């Protein structure tokens, strides 16, 4: 892709995070093409609901780099190639061979395909992938071996291609990100039920934390929320610590990344905010500290091992942003009810005037906190529909 040509791009995200991704794209100055209300709603045929939300926008090659480096809530950046009609395999192969594959592959690279077919004459995903792979070879003159995509073990030179056939219209997208963007590269260890970093940022954005007042997570687990808060408040790009698929594309200039990081990472003047993170589990706090150290944020977060009842809040009101336990097994209902009652009691006693944002399954549990929460923002978390609830103590 020549550097100044504008491409149709798509910032995929967990459904529910779209408004935050949209706000981030606007802050970056990237053009929005379609009103979010008109976005396709996920269909039951979509195998990966986690990637079915998102915001279309347009941008240059440099914008693709910037979006990957800077977006805190997006899960992938896709380059959407022009759609075409394909109702038979020879037509699919011929038309797919007209796409500019030379922008994304070099000799020795391999490809993984994800195919979704919906109400189309071509409905066999494996055969569709085979024909698009053949089309790439037709275009490039050398074979691109096919392999499986494994989020946890991607390798350099492996390019993910997403193919979507709906009513015989084929849309092919080239993934610019590689491993999902919540994989920032610093969280090598996790505690129980970790949050995705992208959802943690969605919660921080939903809370409207001002990045100067104190922020507290009394159920910090592996530290995702406080670490993302620290990175955001220090102006560190979420993509600072990792590699991306676009780094394998022909003509990629590594110096460009250093230049872009310099322009994106405006370190704030003034004292850093007080970020407090605690958990009653010793192992979780150790893991959280290690993760924070890996991305240089340990000095910005005060970690401690303590139960919710023993938190100590600074006098100046701030924000509690947290992900208390809510997954229950039979026999745990009373424990969880007591935990939320304790949370409410502690917040009323120690955090008067603080704003509170919690991720929870539904109103049932947070009601036991005895605080009146808003109706919440629905999001997907680990395949479950949960909500980001907010209130003020």
Ligand X SMILES: C[S@@+](CC[C@H](N)C(=O)[O-])C[C@H]1O[C@@H](n2cnc3c(N)ncnc32)[C@H](O)[C@@H]1O
Tell me which residues touch ligand X (CB under 6 A): 190-195, 218-219, 221-222, 224-225, 279-281, 284, 307-308, 323-325, 339
Residue 255 CA to residue 261 CA, distance in Å, equals 10
Provide the strand spans (E) within 176-296. 215-217, 275-279
Q: Among residues 192 and 384, whose Cβ is nearest to ligand X?
A: 192
CB of 148 to ligand X, least distance (A): 28
Whether residue 85 contacts residue 25, with contact meaning beta carbons closer than 8 Å, is answered with no
Q: Residue 107: phi, psi to the nearest 5?
A: -55, 135
> Residue 116 or residue 222: which is nearer to ligand X going by CB?
222
Q: Which residue is nearest to ligand X (CB)?
A: 221
Q: What angle do CA 318, 228, 390 make, to 5 degrees?
A: 45
Q: Which tokens sit at 129? A: 């992938």
The residues that bridge with 158 in the sheet, in sequence order, are: 110
What is the chain's Cα-based Rg? Answer: 23
Q: Cβ distance 4 to 60 under 8 Å?
A: yes
For residues 136 and 297, which CB has a smaller minimum distance to ligand X in the complex?
297
C-beta of 277: minimal distance to ligand X in Å? Answer: 10
Tell me the closest approach of the beta carbon of residue 195 to ligand X, in angstroms.
4
| Residue 25 vs 339, nearer CB to ligand X | 339
Helix (H, G, I), strand (E, B) or coil at 117: strand
Q: Taking the complex as a whole, how short is the minimal distance between the CB of residue 224 and ligand X, in angstroms? A: 3
- Reference 159, options 227, 228, 113, 224; nearest CA is 113
Nearer to ligand X among residue 119 and residue 385 (C-beta): 385
Q: How far is the CB of 191 from ligand X (least distance, A)?
A: 5
Query: Considering the complex, what minimum distance in angstroms separates the CB of residue 27 from ligand X?
Result: 25
Task: Considering the complex, state which of residue 14 and residue 224 has its C-beta at the smaller distance from ligand X.
Answer: 224
Residue 232 to residue 228: CA distance in whole angstroms: 6
Measured in residues, the chain has a length of 393
């Amino acid at each position: 892709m020549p550097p100044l040509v504008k491409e149709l791009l798509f910032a995929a995200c967990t459904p529910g995070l779209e408004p935050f991704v949209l706000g981030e794209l606007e802050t970056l100055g990237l053009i929005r093409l379609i009103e979010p209300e008109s976005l396709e709603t996920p269909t039951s045929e979509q195998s990966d609901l986690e990637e079915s939300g998102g915001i279309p926008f347009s941008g240059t090659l440099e914008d693709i780099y910037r979006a990957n480096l800077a977006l805190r809530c997006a899960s992938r950046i896709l380059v959407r190639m022009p759609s075409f009609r394909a109702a038979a395999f020879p037509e699919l192969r011929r038309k797919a061979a007209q796409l500019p594959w030379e922008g994304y592959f070099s000799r020795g690279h391999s490809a993984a395909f994800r195919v979704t077919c919906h109400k189309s004459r071509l409905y066999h995903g494996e055969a569709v992938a085979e024909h698009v792979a053949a089309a790439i070879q037709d275009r490039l003159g050398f074979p691109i071996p096919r392999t499986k995509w494994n989020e946890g073990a991607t390798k350099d030179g492996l390019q993910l291609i997403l193919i979507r056939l709906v009513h015989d219209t084929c849309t092919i997208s080239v993934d610019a990100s590689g491993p999902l963007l919540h994989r920032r590269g610093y969280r090598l260890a996790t505690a129980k039920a970790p949050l995705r970093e992208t959802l943690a940022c969605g919660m921080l954005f939903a809370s409207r934390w001002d990045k100067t007042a104190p922020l507290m997570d009394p159920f910090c687990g592996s530290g995702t929320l406080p670490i993302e808060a620290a990175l955001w408040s220090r102006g560190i790009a979420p993509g600072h610590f990792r590699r991306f698929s676009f780094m394998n594309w022909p003509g990629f200039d590594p110096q460009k990344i250093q230049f872009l990081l310099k322009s994106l990472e405006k370190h704030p003047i003034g004292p850093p905010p007080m970020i407090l993170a605690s958990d009653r589990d010793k192992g979780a706090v150790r893991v959280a500290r290690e993760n924070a150290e890996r991305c240089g944020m340990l000095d910005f977060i005060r970690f401690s091992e303590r139960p919710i009842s023993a938190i100590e809040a600074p006098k100046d009101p701030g924000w509690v942003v947290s992900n208390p336990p809510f997954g229950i097994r039979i026999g745990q209902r009373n424990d969880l009810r007591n935990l939320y009652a304790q949370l409410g009691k502690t917040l009323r006693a120690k955090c008067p005037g603080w704003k509170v944002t919690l991720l929870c399954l539904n109103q049932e549990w947070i009601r036991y906190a005895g605080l009146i929460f808003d109706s919440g923002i629905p999001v997907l978390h680990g395949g479950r529909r949960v909500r980001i609830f907010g209130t003020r103590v």
